[in-house]
Amino acid sequence: MDIDATIGAGFLLGAGQALAVGGPASLLMSYVFISALSHCILTAVAEVGAYLPMQGAGVSAYASRYVSPSMGFSMGALHWYGLGVAVPYQLTAMSSFVRYWMPDINSAIPLTISLASVVGMNFMPQQYFYLSTTYLMYFKVAMMAFLLTLSSILFLGGGPDGGFLGFHYWNTPGAMNEFLLGGSGGRFLGLVQSTLTSAVAFLFLPEMIISRGAGLVSPRRMIPVTAQQDNGMVTFSYMMSALAMGVVAPSDDPHLLNGNFEPSSGSGSDSSSSQSGQSPFVVGVNRAGINFLGSLLNVGNLISATSSGSTLLQISTQSLSSLAASGHAPATFGVRNRWGTPYMALGASSIFSGFAYLALAQSDPQILQYLMNFINTSGFMSWLGSGMVYSRFRSAARAQGIELPYTSRLQPYGAYFGMGSSALLCLGNDFSFFFPSNFSIPNLMAAYSGIPIFLLTYVGHRLMFRQYPWIYKSEEVDLFTGLDEVVAAEQEAKPEDTWWGQFWVIVAGIRERFRRAMAFVRQKWGHSRPSDSENSAEVGETDEFDGTGETREVP
């Protein structure tokens, strides 16, 4: 369910912004790089999670255990406000999608409706919320498959004009755009800015995947497998979509969300509604002359952003509720209603959604840029902290002579690469404001305020709870509490509880359904042989065929 949060405005509009800034080649290369970076962080935290799975625990719980309680608190708070700020990013994007049909609408109307729908979904009973997000996730997967198929058709010349599209837009206006500077230096800066813009679609993905792994059967075996499968599915879909976007839409189309914003003059969003961006897929089908399909895709974009916003708010709420359960936040945030919803934590997390109303004072694209800068900083800090958790865990396991059940071939060098890259991206976030023409105080605060906030939460918690060390020594890290129960449960797992066992159970079920369906067809159309009578009687437990094509109940 948590993966549902990744396919939203960060993918739909963020990729369009990256395409406008860097061009199709820069967009594709940025997705490849961020995918590799995300995989390095994922395999690192998968090693941590596979050793001692903890039900409902995220990276912050492992940080408390393997680094220090202060580190766990600061990472838990980071996930709370980082994911909380991602919600108004989705809301502002939804307002931008609505402008596709009503360009002159007041921003307050779509923002309020979007906010009510996102918060309202989170107040649903938990079982209905999870059921709805599951079906919405299926919808998103189907929509992405449709978009990739449609892009392939347009690529091969299957559009209304019948012309072969191919890589035309890679040649005109070009594969890589110049950004801030001319020549090769400008193309390199375009690639860097495109990477920073694309990152918003991947941030917090490894942490969300690992947090749901402990609920699996036989988690020590299943966490690395399912984590890499989930990550592979998302990143492959992203990279193929990045290639498709660069094929169907030119980077100089005025309807894309451009990332080279000038400091706002303070005009309201209504006066700058034409600046609202569209998804590259919507731009592509409109340029192909399939206008009705653009409206349908925009409906899908609205549904995807609503679903992502609801899931992000739910995860942010869970982070605050977990802090309350561990005693690091007021206990009132752990109070739940009769439906299982931590409504006090939900109310506190929903406060961040008010940032979306800044679009009433400035243009939607500018607010999206501010929010994206803050989310990027929070996400890069989270990846840096995840790498630190892994480093301290491996150091403790080595010092105490522990043999790990799972180790990745990429590690520990993958974690070092992930930490170094995350630090560089965090420091270079929205570097464009260093140029005099782009400098603004709001950009500076949005891009770098996340760093002192994280440090203040860490230092503040340490000064408040002086009994905890700054960082545990490797010999002092607790690697054994709860381990015996996990190992015992792992040994008792049935063969069908493993991933290969579950695979063969699914295959056997499909084969049995197919056999029964074929028996039904033979009996229905009167082609059954005498030797098929036993098979025909097994078609249903409560039905029996009478030879006339009708069924009757078995007494």
3-state SS, residue 8: coil
- Other Cβ atoms less than 10 A from the Cβ of 116: the count is 10
Q: Rounded to two decimals, what is the model's pTM?
A: 0.81
What is the arithmetic mean of pLDDT over 441-451? 85
Tokens of 106: 């007041």
User: What pLDDT does residue 545 have?
Assistant: 33
What is the arithmetic mean of pLDDT over 440-452? 85
Better pLDDT: 149 or 11: 149
The answer for residues whose C-beta is within 8 angstroms of residue 368's C-beta and 6 or more apart is 9, 13, 89, 92, 93, 96, 257, 277
What is the arithmetic mean of pLDDT over 137-151? 88
* Per-residue pLDDT tens over the stretch 171-184: 988 889 988 888 89
**H or E stretch including 495?**
none
3-state SS, residue 278: strand
Distance CA 267, CA 127 (A): 44
Tokens of 182: 């001319």
3-state SS, residue 361: coil
User: What pLDDT does residue 274 have?
Assistant: 39
DSSP bridge pairs for 412: none
CATH pick for 2-261+277-484 out of 1.25.40.10, 3.40.50.1010, 1.20.1740.10, 3.90.190.20: 1.20.1740.10
What is the arithmetic mean of pLDDT over 11-20? 83
Q: Cis check for the bond before 330: say yes or no (omega within 30 of 0).
A: no
The percentage of the chain sitting over the pLDDT mark of 70, rounded to a whole number, equals 81
How long is the chain?
555
**H or E stretch including 553?**
strand 551-553
User: What pLDDT does residue 547 have?
Assistant: 37
Could you give the angle at which helices 291-325 and 126-155 cross, rounded to 10 degrees?
140
Is residue 26 within 8 Å of residue 235, measured between CB atoms? no
Which amino acid, 455?
L
User: What pLDDT does residue 425 have?
Assistant: 92
| Of the listed ranges 36-40, 50-54, 73-77, 408-412, the one predicted with least confidence | 50-54
Instruction: Work out the mean pLDDT of the chain and round it to a whole number.
Output: 80
User: What pLDDT does residue 483 have?
Assistant: 79
User: What pLDDT does residue 528 have?
Assistant: 41
User: Of the candidates 273, 300, 310, 347, which has an alpha carbon nearest to the alpha carbon of residue 114?
Assistant: 310
Domain boundaries, the chain: 2-261+277-484, 495-523
Distance CA 280, CA 23 (A): 12
